[in-house]
Amino acid sequence: MSFERQSGVFLHVSSLPGPDGIGTLGQPAREFVDFLAGAEQSLWQTCPIGPTDPGQGNSPYSAFSARAGNPLFVELDELVKAGWLSELERPDFDDREVEFERVRAFKREALREAFAGFEDAGEEDERAAFESYRADNADWLDDYALFRALEDSLDVDTWMDWPDDVKFRDPDALDRYREELADDVRFRQFCQWIFDRQWADLRTYAHEHGIGLVGDMPIYVGTNSVDVWSNPEIFKLDEDREPTYVSGVPPDDFSDTGQLWGTPVYDWETLADRDYDWWVQRFSGLLDRFDVFRIDHFKGFESYYQVPAEEDTAMNGEWVSGPGRDFFEAVRDQLGDLPIVVEDLGVITDATRELRDAFGFPGMRVAGMADWCDDDHTHHPASYDESSVAYTSTHDTSTTPGWIADLSERQRECLAFAVDHADEAIHWDVIETVWETPAVITFAQFQDFHGLGDEHRFNLPGTAEGNWRWRMLASELDPAVADRLADVTRRADRA
């Protein structure tokens, strides 16, 4: 699929301002769309929007489901307007950080009350819409809702610790639990209905303002997810449903022991025999919500690194061939053109590049990873081409002022020359330089436009605490910043 020359902003939904302690899909999101439109941007990119697992640090890349939305993003004021929820008395939340435990407790109580209000007083057309949603999405929603209800009811760490009858999905046990937990199952379905209704309204509003939504898809799913529990045959698991191999990457210049991600790897032979049905459904769900989406760790489709599950590091793994072209051809045959960009960072082989280019997927370039003294370096703006999606910084890197501050004196001198630095705001020089490259799409984190340093970083890979919490202030939706970005965007012919 070909893309037009355009630009956008990366900001996860959770980082929006608002009174709920976390970003929501209602007025805060619409005000951000207004900012983007005023800045003449075309795209809004987020992290994955699934329901996050507190046991995994609330990372959006380790969700309970590859299909469900995060109920924490539901706009409560719209439920008050619907008459299902009484006027809210909100706690005082931190404006700059998401306090996940407090937010989760507050949101869950409010959503429970709204569900009870809907059951008591929902209009006939609303009830019909909910029942239609349940029926239309039963292929993933029924298992997801039961999984979350069981998680609460059984109160153990993961589904692998559940009683054998439900762990191994005995049909009689599943029927029994569906009956016993019927109210909680229905509540989980209600939360997804509200999420998807609000998301659809937001997407319509964004489109009316010329903004497309860009999602993100991690290649792997968490072990403690409904996807592994309900589809064990498509993962490399043993007879006890424990992973036999887990994902990671081998040792490199950055880590002597590699990175052990720990998620189960796919049984691609089984998936191929099923014409990749689970993946087709996953892509279809993304296309229902997003105009474009990024594939994280794209290399894993060409070849993936698997580590025996009993290993403590990633040192003793092996590379295994992935599904390659067969996979993307099968998905394209069933869904049509795929509006995909890919994360192709790190050590990428010729075979990975060939797979990427065969389907016209633009790959990533990140200014914050450049050798500024080498114009031929992959991430130096002088080397970007039309098949690039260029970033000043990403959710996994320092902010642009942050990585500038960490440069050596020599690199800083080369940077100043490369971006034609002329005033104090060198981060704006970097933004403008990236915007003016041939890259077909450019992005910057929202923090970059305000010159915010590394104390405003969103995520530090390899650390378990303190990530994913950053929030913008409402005052940072500054018309002067939007005007400056619009000017840069027009001059770069991206408006």
The confidence score (pLDDT) of residue 215 equals 98
Number of compact structural domains in the chain:
1
Over residues 262-289, the pLDDT tens digits come to: 999 999 999 999 999 999 999 999 999 9
pLDDT digits (tens, 9 = 90+) for 334-374: 999 999 999 999 888 999 999 999 999 999 999 999 999 99
- In the block, residue with structure tokens 């209704």: 197
Contact, 474 vs 465, CB < 8 A?
A: no
Is residue 218 assigned to a domain?
yes
Q: How confident is the model at residue 6 (pLDDT cuts 50, 70, 90)?
A: very high
pLDDT of residue 478: 98
Per residue, the 3-state secondary structure of the chain, as one string, reads CCCCCEEEEECCHHHCCCCCCCCCCCHHHHHHHHHHHHCCCCEEECCCCCCECHHHCCCCCCECCCCCCCHHHCCHHHHHHCCCCCCCCCCCCCCCECCHHHHHHHHHHHHHHHHHHHHHHCCHHHHHHHHHHHHHCHHHHHHHHHHHHHHHHHCCCCHHHCCHHHHCCCHHHHHHHHHHCHHHHHHHHHHHHHHHHHHHHHHHHHHHCCCEEEEEEECCCCCCCHHHHHCHHHECECCCCCECEEEEECCECCECCCEEEEEECECHHHHHHCCCHHHHHHHHHHHHHCCEEEEECHHHHCEEEEEECCCCCCCCCEEEECCHHHHHHHHHHHHCCCCEEECCCCCCCHHHHHHHHHCCCCEEEEHHHCCCCCCCCCCCHHHCCCCEEEECCCCCCCCHHHHHHCCCHHHHHHHHHHCCCCCCCHHHHHHHHHHCCCCCEEEEEHHHHCCCCHHHCCCCCCCCCCCCCECCCHHHCCHHHHHHHHHHHHHCCCC
Range of the domain at 462: 6-70+210-491
At 136-193, the pLDDT tens digits run 999 999 999 999 999 999 989 899 999 999 999 999 999 999 999 999 999 999 999 9
Q: What does the longest C-alpha to C-alpha distance in the chain come to? A: 71
Which one, of 267, 249, 270, lies nearest residue 318 by Cα?
Answer: 249
> What is the domain-level CATH number for residue 322?
3.20.20.80
How many angstroms separate the CA atoms of 315 and 307, rounded?
8
Q: Specify whether the CB–CB gap between 470 and 13 falls below 8 A.
A: no
pLDDT tens-place string over residues 425-467: 999 999 999 999 999 999 999 999 999 999 999 999 878 889 9
Q: What's residue 132's pLDDT?
A: 98
pLDDT digits (tens, 9 = 90+) for 367-415: 999 999 999 999 999 999 999 999 999 999 999 999 999 999 999 999 9
CB 437 within 8 A of CB 381: yes
Domain-embedded: residue 171: no
Q: Please, which residues have CB within 8 angstroms of residue 389's CB and are 6 or more apart in sequence? A: 294, 341, 362, 363, 364, 365, 439, 440, 441, 442, 443
Is 197 contained in some domain?
no
Q: Is the pTM of this model over 0.85?
A: yes
Residues catalogued as catalytic: 296, 343, 396
* Cα–Cα distance measured from residue 287 to residue 293, given in angstroms and rounded to the nearest whole number: 8
Report the distance separating Cα 11 and Cα 44, nearest Å: 7
> Would residue 164 count as lying in a domain?
no
Q: Is residue 65 part of a domain?
A: yes
Please tell me the distance from the alpha carbon of residue 296 to that of residue 278, in angstroms, as a whole number: 18
148 falls within a domain? no
Q: In sequence order, what are the residues at sequence separation of 6 or more whose Cβ sits closer than 8 angstroms to the Cβ of residue 96?
A: 470, 471, 473
Q: What average pLDDT does the chain have? A: 96
